[in-house]
Every structure is written in structure tokens, then in C-alpha cells.
Amino acid sequence: MEQYDFRLVSPTALVPAFARGGTTIPFATEMMQVLRERGAVLSESGPFSEETARTHAPFFEARFRAVSHVVEEKGATQVLELAAGLSPRGMELTQRGLVYVEADLADSIAMKHEIVTAILGHVPEGLHLCTASVIDRLQMLECCSHFVAGRPVAVTTEGLLRYLTFEEKAQLAANVLEVLQRYDGWWVTPDIHLKSVFARQSAEQKQREREQLGRSLGANYFEDLDHARRFFERSGFRVEARPLPEGIEGWLFVLTVN
Ligand SMILES: C[S@@+](CC[C@H](N)C(=O)[O-])C[C@H]1O[C@@H](n2cnc3c(N)ncnc32)[C@H](O)[C@@H]1O
């Protein structure tokens, strides 16, 4: 597998966090305030600017709410949020008694720890901030040690797959499959990034992303919806494809073990 420093992706977590800051999503505004107090800024000259956050805010809000909706609809009591970044979902759902595991890279998890503590005064009992690369099988399984056997797990992945090559996506899919084979449950992801959307990005934006991320993202997109469906089916999942809410372009997949 290609050697890649995934820490280059971590700053992208600020974009959805800033975008959600202007919504009524629980803890999103508090999260943005703490980030601003800590001096977090989105560079106007980089690919991940405040302008990007503003332009894509309806999409970020819709995908966040769509994932939360499925977690609630399924009645999940245990959640594994992969590449959680600055997502505030865990802070909300642990208040409702869920066991919530957030997995991300070490630096992101350390920062999340500080931010959650700044907002709530402590990390809630049911919230487990776990260092793991999602393509590392053992690290991911270790994060699952917080789950109770015999109860299904909702695995969520939001804003990650476009940064992963197909080889990395396949490894991630194998890891999630193993988690769901152990616990049962669902893999919920709105990361169905299609080439038609990438084609609309300006050449300048693509170049800025390439410079910041040290890799070009075009080859990581799915050819079309059918390609995405086949990728997950070949990875061992049954696919339920749901469109994002009206007015928002995109899809959410609810995946179960086939
Ligand atoms: C665009 S952010 C999305 C964050 C969050 N899911 C959201 O929607 O607000 C991408 C996240 O993926 C994380 N990430 C990138 N590569 C990763 C890997 N191999 N394992 C775990 N997390 C990773 C980054 O640290 C970052 O937090």
C-alpha cells in the first residue's frame, strides 16, 4: 500500500466544524467558539478556507443530520465514529446513554480531548476518544474494546473516503466488515463522492488540495453511483442507497453484512 502521512488530512476537520458552527446542531456552536478562542483559522489562500466552509455549510449540515438520523432510526446504543475529527455528535449522544467511540489520528484525538473538556468540563463517561488509523485493523479493533458484545454497533464515516485511495478504502471496508461481523450493526456513510462532482471543482482548487494534501484526489472518487454500490458489494456489504435531503446533492449508504 502507498505510504502516506494521513496527518496531512487532519486540518480539513476545521471546515465542517466551522460550517456546523452556524447551525443548531447540539454543541456545534460551542465547538466553533472554543476553536476560535484557541486561534484556529482557515487560511483564505488555502484549499480549506472559511469561504469553502460557508459555501458547503448546507451540505455539511445535511450529511451530519442524515447520519445522526440513521443512528437514531436504527436505535443504536453503541457507535463507532471513524475519522471523527471535530464532530460534536458523541458529546450529544453520550448524554442519552449511548456508548460512543470516536476514532482518529493521535494529534486529532489529543485536540478533541482538550476541546471536549473545555466545553463540558470533562470527557463524559460513555465517550471514548480512541487513537487509531482506520486502515489499521488492530488499532480499530482495539477501539471496539469499549463495546458490549451482543449489541449492534453503528459505524459512521463522514468526510473521509475522498482522501483514501481505493486500496485504502478496501482495507477500511475490510476492517468495518470485521467489526460488524463481531457485533452486528450498520455502516453509515455519506462519503459517496462521485467523479461528476470532482469535475466541477476548479483547477485552482484541485491544485491547492494537491499541494496541501500531498496527493491528488481525483482518482479516489467513484465513477458513478453504480461504481460506489459495486465497490461496497464486492467488499461484502449489502447496500441501501438513500439520497440526501431535497436540495442537497449526494447520497448516504447504509451498509450491512451480506
Ligand atoms: C474532513 S475531516 C472529517 C471530520 C469529521 N468526520 C466531520 O465530518 O466533521 C477528515 C478527518 O479524517 C481524519 N483522518 C484522516 N486519515 C485518517 C486515518 N487514516 N485514520 C483515522 N482518521 C483519519 C482526519 O484526522 C480528520 O479528522
Residue 21, class by beta-carbon neighbours within 10 Å (0-12 exposed, 13-18 middle, 19+ buried)? buried
Q: How far is the CA of 234 from the centre of ligand 1 (A)?
A: 24
The span from the CA of 17 to the CA of 3, in Å, is: 28
* Residue 208 three-state SS: helix
Q: Closest Cα to atom 23, ligand 1: which residue?
A: 83
The best mutation among 2, 81, 104, 188 to test binding of ligand 1, ranked by most ligand atoms within 8 Å of the C-beta, falls on 104
CB of residue 253 inside a 6 A radius of ligand 1 = no
Q: What is the pLDDT of residue 242?
A: 98
Digit-by-digit pLDDT tens for the chain (258 residues) are 889 999 999 999 999 999 999 999 999 999 999 999 999 888 776 777 888 888 899 999 999 999 999 999 999 999 999 999 999 999 999 999 999 999 999 999 999 999 999 999 999 999 999 999 999 999 999 999 999 999 999 999 999 999 999 999 999 999 999 999 999 999 999 999 999 999 998 998 899 999 999 999 999 999 999 999 999 999 999 999 999 999 999 999 999 999
Phi, psi of 179 (to 5 degrees): -60, -45
Tell whether ligand 1 has an atom less than 6 A from the beta carbon of residue 14. no
C-alpha to C-alpha distance for 209 and 256, rounded to whole angstroms? 33
pLDDT at residue number 52: 83
Supply the pLDDT for residue 94: 98
Q: What is the pLDDT of residue 205?
A: 87
Whether ligand 1 lies within 6 angstroms of the CB of 48 is answered as no
For ligand 1, atom 13, name the residue with the nearest CA: 83
The per-residue pLDDT for 234 is 98
Amino acid identity of 223?
Answer: E
What is the rounded CA–CA span in Å between residue 209 and residue 46? 8
| Distance from the Cα of residue 16 to its chain's centroid | 10
Out of 12, 108, 160, mutate this one to test ligand 1's pocket (max ligand atoms within 8 Å of CB): namely 160
Q: What predicted TM-score, i.e. pTM, was given to this entire model?
A: 0.97
Task: Give the pLDDT of residue 71.
Answer: 98
Ligand 1 pocket residue status of 71, Cβ below 6 Å: no
Distance between Cα 6 and ligand 1 center (Å):
9
133 lines ligand 1 (CB under 6 A): yes
Q: Is the CB of 102 under 6 A from ligand 1?
A: no
- pLDDT at residue 44 in the model: 74
- DSSP result, 106-154: HHHHHHHHHHHHHHHSS--TTEEEEE--TT-HHHHHHHGGGSPTTS-EE
